[in-house]
Amino acid sequence: MWIVDSKEVPETLEELLIPSKTAHVMIDIQNDCLHPDGSCAREGSDISMYPPMPENVVRLVDESRKLGVLQVFVRIETLPESRSDSPAWIRLRRRLSVQYRGQAGGKADHAPIQFGEKGTWGSEIVEELKVLPGDLVVRKHRSSAFFGTDLDMLLRSNGRDRLIFTGVTTEGCVESSVRDAGFLDYFPIVISDGVASDVLELHEASLRVMRAYRADVITLQDCVDALHAAV
């Protein structure tokens, strides 16, 4: 531990990843985002980076759950008839749809991409991941897992201030959540082979930015080893 003005600051991964103080936060690992039949793929998203990621997340869930790490499944959800969408949010999603369709600019006939509509198959967590009793499920309507949700309250109620992040997309909802976690005085840890994007360059750029000063960016194996060493 570092001691800074009488405050203890974790120095090593083993000091940081204490299972009883840690939560694994999975971001938007849902059918619409990852599955070949999901809305993002249908709109033209390149999902080729995604297949290995859920398998790695499943391994991390299995390894960390038995050590006492709290599992948190975060789902992005859109209400029917755009009830959860502001004009600003619709404009942002429209930019995403233009990107998927390979267009140079947003034309009027390019409707915003729809994903995670409440009650649909697309909004469900992929079948590889199983929510068990004792796990938490948090629904969000914007990029960050903290914005407009009860995630902060749930984590603090359970004494979890070290957060392992996995999910999609690296530069989007993952990085948004990581930034908010840091601002809220959590310790964010990003699993480099547990996050993915449909744009490789943005994935790599986001990891570089987060590694610089936003989070500890480590591999799945390093994370598992540290969790076991801390027990």
Q: Is the residue at 179 inside a domain?
A: yes
**Per the structure, how many domains does the chain have?**
1
Contacts of 123 (CB under 8 A, 6+ apart): 30, 31, 32, 75, 76, 77, 78, 116, 117
User: How do residues 167-205 score in pLDDT, each as one tens digit?
Assistant: 999 999 999 999 999 999 999 999 999 999 999 999 999
The per-residue pLDDT for 197 is: 94
CATH at 145: 3.40.50.850
Residue 197: CA count within 13 A, CB half-sphere: 18
User: How do residues 51-93 score in pLDDT, each as one tens digit?
Assistant: 899 999 999 999 999 999 999 999 999 998 888 989 998 888 8
The per-residue pLDDT for 150 is: 98
pLDDT score of 112 more than 60:
yes
* CB of 64 closer than 8 Å to CB of 212: no
Residues 177, 114, 198, 137: is their CA dihedral positive or negative?
positive
Q: Is the residue at 69 inside a domain?
A: yes
The per-residue pLDDT for 101 is: 64
Q: Is the residue at 175 inside a domain?
A: yes
Q: Whole domain around residue 222: which residue ranges?
A: 2-78+114-230
Indicate the SS3 state at residue 2. strand
Rounded distance, CA 199 to CA 209, Å? 16
Q: Is the residue at 168 inside a domain?
A: yes
Mean pLDDT, rounded, of the chain:
92
pLDDT score of 123 more than 70:
yes
Q: Is the residue at 24 inside a domain?
A: yes
The per-residue pLDDT for 90 is: 86
Q: Is the residue at 12 inside a domain?
A: yes
Q: Is the residue at 152 inside a domain?
A: yes
